[in-house]
Structure formats: C-alpha cells, structure tokens
C-alpha cells in the first residue's frame, strides 16, 4: 500500500457534483490499481452516490468529510479564507501536509487558483504558478501556459512557464523534445509587445527547452507547438476565443442539419464520421488543466466535467507522480539560480 | 463632378494584384455613380487589366502611374521611406494632399499602418490610429478595435478607440446606439490586467458611448457587442485565433465530407444550406478593416482579397464620406479636450 499514488478529489465542485465526480473516481480506481482517492466533501451525499456502485476496491477509496461548499460565484480570496471546512480547502490541505500527492477539482477556477498558491504553495524558486490548459489541435494537443489569473507577468516568469510546460509536455503528454513557442502577433523576433520582445531572447538562449520562436494565434490550431508560452491575459483570450468559435460553429452546423428533411437525412449519412472528427475540437475530452510549480499537482477540470473527464484528471495525476515531474521541475529551475 | 467621392486604390498590393483589384474597381464604379477611383500603380499592367472591361464610365477611373511596389515581406518603415514612387506611398499622398478622400489597399499591413501614420497623418487630438477589422458573429458583424501594430496602448488611447469605433459602427455598419464592450478575462469590473482595470471607469463614465462592460473572448462570436475595445496585442490574438479556428474547423469538415461515398452523397444533400450558414464565418466577405483617426479613411483589405472585397472596400469609403465620419470623430474627440 505504501506505493499507492494518493489523489484528493473535491467531490463538491462543478455543475455535476457530486454524481459525476464520484462516478469518475470509481472508474479511475477500477482502471488503475496504483491509485488511491480521497473523496473530500459532504459525507452523506458522497455515500449516497457511492451506494450506486459495487465491485470497486473500497480499500483505495476513502471519504473525508467537509461540510462547506465554495460556490462558483464567490469571491475566491474571501471564500478560501472564510470556509476552512470546504471541500477545496480541506482537499488542498491534504496535499500540503503530504497526505495526498495531487488534487483534482471541477470547482471555481478562482478559488482553485487562490488555494493552489496559498494552501498548497509554490515550489521554492518558482515565482508564479501558471494554469496550463490543454487545447486540441490537428496534431493532438498543445499546452497553453499561462491562462490563469496571474496577469501582467514578467519575462523571467514566462521563462519558468516555458521550462515547466516543456517538462510537463514531455512527461505527461509523451512529447519527445517538445517544441516551445512564444505567443505573439508575428513570427519575426522583433514582433510583439514589450513583454514578448524581452522574453524572446530568454527563451532562445535557454538550453532546457526546444524553442521554435514566436507563434501567431492563427497557427495554434494546426499544432506546430507542443507548448505555447504566454502571459495569462493573452492566454486566456486565446483559449476563450478558441472555445467560443468552436462552440458557435458547432451550433451553426447543428442548426444546418436540422433545417429540413433533406438535411436531416444527410446528417444520418454523415453522423459517424462527423462525430469522430469534430470531437477532436472539444477541449473538454482532454481532462484537466494542470497548475504547475506547486508542492504537488493541482488539476482543474471544467466546471461541466463528466465522469470521464474526472477519471482522466485522476489518471493524469498518476502519470505526474510516476514520472516525478515535481522533482524534475525543482531540479531544472534550481539549476538556473 | 465636384461631388464625386474620390478613392485612391493601391493597384499593386495583395496576392491577386493587379487583376482582382482592377476588377473590383470596375465593379465599384458600375455599382455606384458617386465614386471616382484613382488606380495607383504600374500603368502598363493596369492598362492591360483594364482592357478586359468595357462599358464602365471611363471619366470616373483614372490611372496614376507608380513604378515601385512594396512587397509583403519588406520592413515597413524602410519600405515607406525608400520607395517614394510606390503605389502605397503615392496613393496615400493623394489623400494627404486632398486629391482623394479615402484609400484602399490589399498590400502589406505593416506598410499601410506606417504609411497611414506618417503620410496620411492623424487627426489633431487623436493619439493613436487603430486598425479595426470587422469580425462576423451570429448577429452580423462586430468591430474589433485595435488589431494594428500599436501595442502597449494606454487607457486614454483605448477611450479614443471606443469613441471612434462607436461612431464608425453607427454610421458605416448602421448600428443604432451601438453597444461597446471592453475585452477582458472576466465580465466583472475588477477582472483583467492593469490596463483593462484602468480603462473600465473611463469607458463607464464616457457619455458618448453605450458601454455594456467587459466581454470575454468566448462571448464575441455570439455578437452581444457591436464594438469590442482592446489593446492591439490582445486584439490581434483574438482576431487571429478566430481566423485560425474557423479555418481549421472548415478544413476538418471538408475532409469529413470527402471520407467515402456515403459522406459525399450527404454533402450533396447539405451543400446549399451548409454553404450559406458557414459563409457567415468567413471574415473575408466583409471587406476591409478601417484605420481610424486619420485625415481621410484608410481601408486595409485582406492580402488574399478578390474583386468583391475590393469593391466592398471602395463602397465602404463612399459611406464613410457621405456620413461625414471624419468630421464626427473630430467633433466628438475635440469636445473631450
């Protein structure tokens, strides 16, 4: 039992909590015998959901009671401070105290970001802990680092994002010598704002990453860069624009299919291929966004996460721990000082 | 003849110059009897293209010879300085000297931005001249201001963008009391980077615009805001991400149709509705992006512009002049000082 990888899961966070969270946890335990999950939240509700399942290894699933819930709309800093018995705070404290290796939540992004920084805490030497969602591309998936709440970053912080993102892409996404690009408004070295121009030489001269230069947002969906480095404001806009366009186009396409009998028949003929191909553009299937540079992995999944996303987020934690990503980040960043 | 609206058109700029440019010019003249066009570029090449057409009003089309061409890849500042006999420089000088009211080019964005600022020049009181592309939405079209090369803008500059964009949307796009939003990473007033937080109260307290608050990039495609105010770096990323996702999804959909005989038949059944609905997401059909705040309108169309886009850009200049947008901008901005 000593070698089990322990994941604390916020059972109360997200639109589909606790039902889909509990379901995802049971699936993760059934799929990987190396994982133990702490389901943190209101015990009675968790038990009610768990009663739907049997045959899973009860030794590797433990309920940790937490009476409070942090709602999506709450001001993050206040919520973390004023709800010590919330599922987010209690689960994060388990990581802080070494009782869990990693943490998964579908709850408030703001509260998770604040909790990550203030409860789990940053690795020594890490200046900021970025949130790095995976975005789907024609070649698979890319890491967009940072899309968190730490806007107005400095060049030396972006350099750390690049290094951490590269280690993550190599170890968790299985990319060999992952390509790293800097988000800008032109491919040339002299294009961009002041921050990008100052960051470019730092990335270019960094021996720890495979820097391929600037990337324009238009080229992201084709997938030339495994890791896209950006300050969080621009990163958030790129991410949200991606989601917005994909969603709106998806809706327009759906409406097209529903126009008349002829288009409905066409849809039946296309359905199989269409579903497979368009699914690649649904960012949600890739599970959670890691928050890197903390003393333990924090994974934020979508608020609308279903069981499969929760399961994948938990398995992502296992890979993170198995590959010692934390240690690799510590080692590489400390070598820089 | 005195009341004709005169547009200087760069005949040599863009991937399809001069053929599609000349074609678009002839179509514009045929469609609107109030417009006179100066086709600026290499006379022999323009004449060769013009020889394909007849029946248009030759009185309203004049060739202005310019021997040099500024290529897409040239460094903008150097190109403008070292090629005084280029089509871009000569056509812009016509606006500067009042020989033309407006200018249209499909050539280098950088050269057009530099030329706009240095040759055409800014209206007195205008701090920066933003480039404001039109982006398609489910409700029609929105103005994304600024997507130019003026990165790292200040709050007072964004306020001017909001005012100019609002006047443009009302007069050219025909939006009544156009809604103006500030691009940010959250809808609440306290969300965003330092620039956005400082700009928010300026827009909120400005009596000349209908400010509706922050907008997240994800909500842009649905079309709640007629004018989206942003610093150019973030604006460019939003614009390019839009284009990139739309293009990539379009390619995936096309490939889906080509998978097998069954999907090909489905495509034939769907073709009509599909083409109509998806066309709404092709930003190119809306013609050119205005560069606002200059002594005359500068319109930059896509490098890949075809005749219809060139024609629409010219007609856009007519509306601009007919509605005295220049004067309205001058008046409103001067009232603020």
Domain ranges of chain B: 5-126+293-336, 134-242
Split at pLDDT 50, 70, 90, the class of A250 is confident
Residue A1's pLDDT is 47
pLDDT at B337 over 60: no
Fold of the domain built from segment(s) B5-126+293-336 = Isopropylmalate Dehydrogenase (3.40.718)
Length of chain A: 337
Closest CA to B185 of A82, A113, A198, A180: A113
Query: pLDDT tens digit string along B38-90?
Result: 999 999 999 999 999 999 999 999 999 999 999 988 999 999 999 999 999 99
User: Contact, B232 vs B150, CB < 8 A?
Assistant: yes
Bridge partner list, B300: B105, B289
Fold of the domain built from segment(s) B134-242 = Rossmann fold (3.40.50)
pLDDT at B2 over 60: no
Distant-in-sequence, close-in-space partners of A72: CB < 8 Å, separation ≥ 6: A107, A108, A303
Mean pLDDT of B266-278: 85
Of B185, B242, B260, the CB nearest to A236: B185
ipTM confidence score? 0.88
The angle that helices B232-257 and A261-279 make with each other, rounded to 10 degrees, is: 120
Phi/psi for B230 (5° steps) reads -160, 155
Mutate which: B194, B249, B260, vs A, most A CBs within 10 A? B249
Check residue B215 and report its DSSP letter: E
Both tokens of residue B76? 């903008």
Mean pLDDT of A42-51: 97
Tell if the CB–CB gap between A152 and B280 is shorter than 8 Å: no
Distance in angstroms (rounded) separating the CA atoms of residues B281 and B246: 7
User: Contact, B312 vs B25, CB < 8 A?
Assistant: no
The angle that helices A19-31 and A307-322 make with each other, rounded to 10 degrees, is: 40
Residue A337's pLDDT is 56
Split at pLDDT 50, 70, 90, the class of B297 is very high
Residue A31's pLDDT is 96
> Which run of H or of E encompasses B251?
helix B232-257
What is chain B's mean pLDDT, rounded?
A: 92
pLDDT at B284 over 80: no
Distance in angstroms (rounded) separating the CA atoms of residues A260 and A263: 5
Check residue B116 and report its DSSP letter: I
Distance in angstroms (rounded) separating the CA atoms of residues B86 and B8: 13
A11 CA to chain B: closest CA distance, Å? 25
Split at pLDDT 50, 70, 90, the class of A286 is low
Phi/psi for B215 (5° steps) reads -130, 135
Mutate which: B190, B193, B234, B270, vs A, most A CBs within 10 A? B270
What order of strands is seen across the sheet that includes strand A35-41? A61-65, A35-41, A5-10, A102-105, A297-300, A289-291
Distance in angstroms (rounded) separating the CA atoms of residues A311 and A291: 17
> Which run of H or of E encompasses B214?
strand B210-216
Split at pLDDT 50, 70, 90, the class of B254 is confident
B14 CA to chain A: closest CA distance, Å? 18
For A268, nearest residue in chain B (alpha carbons): B266
Distance in angstroms (rounded) separating the CA atoms of residues B144 and B162: 10
Residue range A5-126+293-324, CATH number: 3.40.718.10
Query: pLDDT tens digit string along A146-164?
Result: 998 788 899 999 999 999 9
Angle at B243 (CA atoms; ends B242, B249), nearest 5 degrees: 90
Distant-in-sequence, close-in-space partners of B182: CB < 8 Å, separation ≥ 6: B158, B162, B192, B196, B199, B200, B203, B211, B213, B214, B215, B228, B229, B230
Residue B282's pLDDT is 66
Distance in angstroms (rounded) separating the CA atoms of residues B128 and B154: 10
Return the residue matching tokens 């059972």. A11
Mutate which: B137, B151, B157, vs A, most A CBs within 10 A? B151
Mean pLDDT of B104-131: 94
Instruction: Give Rg (Cα) of chain B.
Output: 20
For A152, nearest residue in chain B (alpha carbons): B193
B225 or A190, higher pLDDT: B225
Split at pLDDT 50, 70, 90, the class of A281 is low
The angle that helices A155-171 and A194-204 make with each other, rounded to 10 degrees, is: 50
Query: pLDDT tens digit string along B172-205?
Result: 988 999 999 999 998 888 889 999 999 999 999 9
Q: If 0-12 CB within 10 Å is exposed, 13-18 middle and 19+ buried, where does residue B168 land?
A: buried
Collapsing DSSP states into helix, strand and coil, what is residue B136? strand
Highest-confidence range of A249-258, B184-193, B284-293, B309-318, by mean pLDDT?
B309-318
Distance in angstroms (rounded) separating the CA atoms of residues A211 and A199: 12
Residue A282's pLDDT is 66
pLDDT at A260 over 50: yes
What is chain A's mean pLDDT, rounded?
A: 92
Both tokens of residue B152? 């790292």
B65 CA to chain A: closest CA distance, Å? 32
Mean pLDDT of B110-136: 93
Chain A residues with beta carbon closer than 8 angstroms to that of B265: 266, 269
Distance in angstroms (rounded) separating the CA atoms of residues A129 and A146: 9
Residue A249's pLDDT is 84
How far from chain centre, in Å, is Cα B287? 7
A250 CA to chain B: closest CA distance, Å? 9
Q: What percent of chain B has pLDDT over 90?
A: 73
Residue A182's pLDDT is 98
The domains spanning A5-126+293-324 and A128-283 adopt the same CATH topology: yes
- Cis before A18 (ω within 30): yes
Q: Class of A128-283 per CATH?
A: alpha beta
Collapsing DSSP states into helix, strand and coil, what is residue B75? coil
User: Contact, A91 vs A8, CB < 8 A?
Assistant: yes
Q: Per mean pLDDT, which range of A274-288, A310-324, B143-157, B174-188 is the poorest?
A: A274-288
Mean pLDDT of B131-136: 92
Residue A103's pLDDT is 97
B274 CA to chain A: closest CA distance, Å? 6
User: Contact, B168 vs B143, CB < 8 A?
Assistant: yes
For A73, nearest residue in chain B (alpha carbons): B188
Tell if the CB–CB gap between B217 and A234 is shorter than 8 Å: no
pLDDT at B247 over 50: yes
Distance in angstroms (rounded) separating the CA atoms of residues A71 and A69: 6
Return the residue matching tokens 């040239």. B74
Residue B1's pLDDT is 47
Q: What is the 3-state secondary structure (H, E, C) of chain A?
A: CCCCEEEEEECCCCCCCCHHHHHHHHHHHHHCCCEEEEEEECHHHHHHHHCCCCCCCHHHEEEEECCECCCCCCCHHHHHHHCCCEHHHHHHHHHHCCCCCEEEECCCHHHHHHHHHHHHCECCCCCCCCECCEEEECCEEEEEECCCCCCCCCHHHHHHHHHHHHHHHHHCCCCCCCEEEEEECCCCCCCCCHHHHHHHHHHHCCCCCEEEEEEEHHHHHHCCCCEEECCHHHHHHHHHHHHHHHHHHHHHHHHHHCCCHHHHHHHHHHHHHHHHHHHCCCHHHHCCEEECCECCEEEECCCCCCHHHHHHHHHHHHHHHHCCHHHHHHHHHHHHC
- The number of C-beta contacts closer than 8 angstroms across A and B is 176
Residue B285's pLDDT is 62
Tell if the CB–CB gap between A241 and B246 is shorter than 8 Å: no
Mutate which: A158, A233, A302, vs B, most B CBs within 10 A? A233
Closest CA to B167 of B8, B322, B320: B320
Mean pLDDT of B17-32: 97
User: Contact, A92 vs A119, CB < 8 A?
Assistant: yes
Closest CA to B42 of B70, B15, B23: B70
């Amino acid at each position: 039992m000593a070698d089990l990888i322990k994941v604390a899961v916020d059972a109360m966070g997200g639109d589909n909590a606790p039902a889909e969270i509990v379901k995802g946890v049971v699936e993760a335990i059934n799929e990987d015998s190396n994982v133990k999950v702490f389901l943190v939240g209101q015990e009675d509700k968790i038990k009610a959901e768990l009663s739907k399942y049997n045959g899973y290894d009860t030794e590797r699933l433990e309920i940790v009671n937490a009476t409070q819930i942090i709602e999506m709309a709450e001001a993050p800093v206040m919520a973390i401070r004023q709800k010590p018995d919330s599922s987010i705070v209690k689960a994060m404290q388990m990581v802080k105290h070494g009782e869990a290796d990693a943490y998964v939540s579908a709850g408030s992004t703001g509260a998770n970001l604040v909790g990550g920084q203030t409860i789990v805490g940053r690795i020594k030497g890490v200046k900021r802990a970025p949130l790095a969602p995976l975005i789907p591309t024609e070649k698979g998936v890319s890491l967009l680092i940072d899309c968190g709440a730490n806007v107005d970053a400095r060049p030396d912080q972006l350099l750390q994002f690049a290094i951490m993102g590269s280690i993550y892409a190599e170890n968790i996404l299985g990319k060999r010598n992952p390509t790293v690009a800097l988000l800008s408004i032109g491919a040339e070295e002299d294009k961009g704002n002041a921050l990008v121009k100052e960051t470019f030489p730092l990335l270019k001269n960094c021996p720890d990453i495979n820097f391929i230069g600037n990337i324009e947002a238009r080229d992201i969906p084709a997938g030339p860069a495994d890791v896209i480095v950006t300050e969080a404001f621009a990163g958030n806009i790129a991410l949200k624009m991606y989601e917005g366009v994909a969603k709106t186009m998806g809706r327009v396409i759906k409406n097209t299919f529903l126009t008349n009998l002829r288009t409905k028949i066409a849809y039946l003929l296309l359905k199989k291929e269409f579903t497979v191909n368009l699914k690649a553009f649904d960012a949600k299937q890739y599970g959670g966004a890691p928050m890197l540079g903390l003393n333990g992995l924090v994974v934020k999944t979508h608020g609308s996460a279903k069981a499969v996303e929760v399961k994948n987020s938990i398995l992502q934690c296992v890979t993170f721990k198995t590959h010692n990503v934390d240690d690799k980040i510590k080692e590489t960043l400390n070598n820089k000082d």
